[in-house]
Amino acid sequence: MKAEDYVSFVEAWEARATIRTRPRRIVEDDERLIYPLSRQPLVLSETFTRQCPELRDYALVQSLYKFINDVVIFETEIVDKTARSIAKDRFAIRFPFACRFDAMSVVVDEDYHALVAMDFMQQTIALTGIEPIALPTEIELSRAIPAALAQAPDHLRSAVELICVAIAENTVTNDVAAFAKDDSVKQSVKGLMADHLLDEGRHSGFWTRLVRIYWQTAAQADREAIAQILPVFIHQYLTNEIQNGFDFALIDHLPVADTVKQALKAETLALSFPINSHHPLVSNIVRFFRNSTLLEAACVREALVDYLPAREVCA
């Protein structure tokens, strides 16, 4: 895709953006879950189900708070920063007006998502009476993007930032999609995720197109340099360190014996996903590399050999 071929999604945004079309989501006082069991393996662990199953809802509420906190950080500190820079034509990679206009719509959407998430958290606190424990001040991307940028020469820092944000936006879209399909949770939660998904589907395509525009004109030496940085980013992005830290803090707040807490922590560590081709988010990342055309470059395939299916490596 060439920059001059880019077509704005302004009409789709005007017609379907959630900030323009969706009502306020009100959390229900019903028996459905506030957060999917599948997204908090702690409550499904052997020790938890045997020793403190009555604390399930408390753990799920705290997990929702952490998820909302992650959304706010992601939208306002990660995506907003890059999108706003592009929209205001302050990004080192120059894009035409249509791209910059769409970037500003992404800023509006993401800040609105953060606002809606904060509203839902306050509703949940009022409904349950459960105050959030201390929540992380950063997410995996807060570390992964700086780690990647530190490896990049000055003239490639913006390109690396663009690709990292695009990877994250494509990954979160599929993550939210799985959340939105879970019938065990409250309808308001499903609606909240479906609303988010509607916008994120548009955003993921936007970021993919920008990366394709950049990659088509990137020099071979720059492509090779970026390829070597990608595994650094992916490893930091997929780490379980922050999630494990939160889970440990949650376990420490449970009114159970110290021996039970230690057993829960050991089981939590055992449930961590390995950072390789079998990690559940890797398929989403590989799909982005394919759609953005990065995977057509041999240097990218070679750099990502630990994450790719054999057919991709040999392509």
288 close to 171: Cβ distance less than 8 angstroms: yes
Two tokens, residue 82 = 């890059």
Residue linked to tokens 């395939």: 301
* Domain-wise residue ranges, the chain: 3-313
| Cα–Cα distance measured from residue 162 to residue 69, given in angstroms and rounded to the nearest whole number | 23
Q: What pLDDT score does 1 carry?
A: 72
At 273, is the secondary structure helix, strand, or coil? coil
Q: Name the burial class of residue 71, with classes exposed (0-12), middle (13-18) and buried (19+) by CB atoms within 10 angstroms of its CB.
A: buried
Give me the average pLDDT of each 10-residue run along the chain (315 residues): 85 92 92 91 94 97 96 96 98 96 97 95 97 97 97 98 96 72 88 87 94 96 98 93 95 97 93 67 90 96 86 54
Phi, psi of 182 (to 5 degrees): -80, 115
Residue 186 in tokens:
């409250």
**What does the pLDDT read at residue 276?**
62
Question: Could you tell me the CA-to-CA distances from 152 to 145, 159, 161, 162, 293 in Å, in that order?
Answer: 11, 9, 10, 12, 21
Res 277: pLDDT:
62
Q: What DSSP string describes 123-179? A: HHHHHH-PPP-PPPS--HHHHHHHHHHHHS-GGGHHHHHHHHHHHHHHHHHHHHHHH
DSSP letter at 2 equals -
pLDDT of residue 106: 97
> Any idea how long the chain is?
315
CA separation for the pair 132, 70 (Å, rounded): 13
pTM equals 0.92
- pLDDT score of 102: 97
Residue 71 amino acid letter: V
> Could you say which architecture CATH assigns to the domain 3-313?
Orthogonal Bundle (1.10)
Please give the Cα distance from 199 to 107 (Å, whole number). Answer: 11
Q: Which two tokens stand for residue 63?
A: 């997990």
Residue 249 identity: A
Of the candidates 90, 96, 81, 85, which has an alpha carbon nearest to the alpha carbon of residue 7? 96
Specify the pLDDT at position 278: 67
